[in-house]
Structure 1
């Protein structure tokens, strides 16, 4: 049982060996904040930890980190767009790059006075759909996924975050039963080819759902083609499709949407200068 913030922080940093020093320190701060509500300043002043304070098994947590298990799975949650989302091995861990997708949609739609109908295809944890619902009170948002387990996580997140997103099971590759139109279609579909596995971190490769990550090497545009076809039927003429993309396929995804009849398509770079978003409009 640790009695002060700094002694606990130092113990975690000294014993987690699977990550760089910078990453380990960031994780130590996250753990202290999550389990004991201790902040970085509490570590700096070596704030005492009350003997009545319940502490987890730190050695077990360190062991899991050294096995490359994501800290978000250990904690069971992560922040996305300032909101805390439950995560599990059944859904992708929301990433900062995807926040840029949400911010772009909010910026583009902010002027709208009428209700905006949005669908998030492959919603996973529900992070995109719920963030849009929370930030755009004038929007009606749906979240679709093929995974029942992911939809359970998304609905729990919606309940915790007081969101009114409608979550439904829908397979964009197979289902054709939908009859309706949207102002916005958004998706962060599987876009990593299996050939890219060798360059991936073990915490992603071993602990995040391959269903949401990978697409066959022979057809890396599978989901983008299906979404483009869906949009030609169910996106309003003045609507917009927003997609997160593999940085290697920005121009080919753009060309795909142009060939499908979209009049204005642009590739947008993320905070790291990498092609990350395709924004496609049916009308110019």
Structure 2
């Protein structure tokens, strides 16, 4: 089979499930990963012959896309903040909005050179602490997660990106204290309410870990309340809390932080115009 023949097959298989732009994005990412071909190469070398074993592998990838498995899980990697991360069913796939949160944290570090200790709560793949450490190498960065499997992935990602992170297995909801005090605490905890499941694409619902996604309708700020309490206890003087939040609960989260005594609270929109991030001082 030639490359152009596979592309035709690929498009025909997926056309009833995905928009054309997404199919093209899948295709170019797959050929870059499996054939080491650029977009230009695809057009210049579309008559290259694919081996039977490669065709079989590409067909398996196509079948997984037909089952609505995320392309990141199928290929096992994704890019975040210019870095490569391994991802699997034990960790959430990093989102562009979280890159904005990392940028906000890094801007704060650059403007406050005395910052030394940073903690990420609910680290998953480790994308937040690894990106921070990679771009602010003088900081000491720690990360907590309840999932041992997630931490295994995060440890691999830290090693692959040549950074040293102190990873800690811990259930934050049952924790009475943290290991030390921090100049920055950052978190992207579970925040999607059960009632919002209908807004979530099936490829996310069926594949990404619900432990890292969902909270009850009755107590949607459960993680934020606990993180805020621990932050009050363990942020240094003038320490700052950064949170990624549920876009529908921006004001509720701001009010909760105000009631707990935080000051200089900023609610920030993401690139899609949704209330997505909060910065608050102790």
CA shift, 1:196, in A, is 0.8
TM-score by length of 2: 0.95
Map Cα deviations across residues 200-254 of structure 1 (whole Å, 9 max, x no partner).
1000000000000000110000000001000110011211111000100011101
Aligned to 1:217: 217
Aligned to 1:22: 21
Query: 8 Å contact 2:177–2:230 — kept in the other structure?
Result: no
Q: Judging changes above 3 Å, is the alpha-carbon distance between structure 1 residues 70 and 51 closer, same or farther for their aligned structure 2 residues?
A: closer
Structure 1 spans left out of the alignment, 5+ residues: none
Map Cα deviations across residues 236-284 of structure 1 (whole Å, 9 max, x no partner).
12111110001000111011111110011111000010000011112xx
Q: State the alpha-carbon separation in 2 of the partners of residues 54 and 48 from structure 1.
A: 17
> How many positions carry a matched residue from both structures?
280
Show the 5 A alignment for 1:98-137.
Answer: 98-114=98-114, 116-137=116-137
CA shift, 1:178, in A, is 2.7
Aligned to 1:37: 36
CA shift, 1:43, in A, is 1.6
Show the 5 A alignment for 1:1-284.
Answer: 2-4=1-3, 6-16=4-14, 17-49=16-48, 55=54, 57-114=57-114, 116-282=116-282
Q: State the alpha-carbon separation in 1 of the partners of residues 37 and 11 from structure 2.
A: 16
Query: 8 Å contact 1:240–1:279 — kept in the other structure?
Result: yes
Name the SS of the counterpart of 2:186 in structure 1. Answer: strand
Name the SS of the counterpart of 1:261 in structure 2. Answer: coil
Q: State the alpha-carbon separation in 2 of the partners of residues 153 and 188 from structure 1.
A: 17
TM-score by length of 1: 0.94
CA shift, 1:111, in A, is 3.0
Q: State the alpha-carbon separation in 2 of the partners of residues 85 and 237 from structure 1.
A: 34
Query: 8 Å contact 1:18–1:65 — kept in the other structure?
Result: no
Map Cα deviations across residues 85-111 of structure 1 (whole Å, 9 max, x no partner).
000000000011100000111111113
Alignment RMSD: 1.5
Q: State the alpha-carbon separation in 2 of the partners of residues 37 and 54 from structure 1.
A: 16
Query: 8 Å contact 2:72–2:87 — kept in the other structure?
Result: yes
Structure 2 spans left out of the alignment, 5+ residues: none
Larger helix share, 1 or 2: 2
Q: State the alpha-carbon separation in 2 of the partners of residues 211 and 49 from structure 1.
A: 44
Q: State the alpha-carbon separation in 1 of the partners of residues 245 and 139 from structure 2.
A: 24
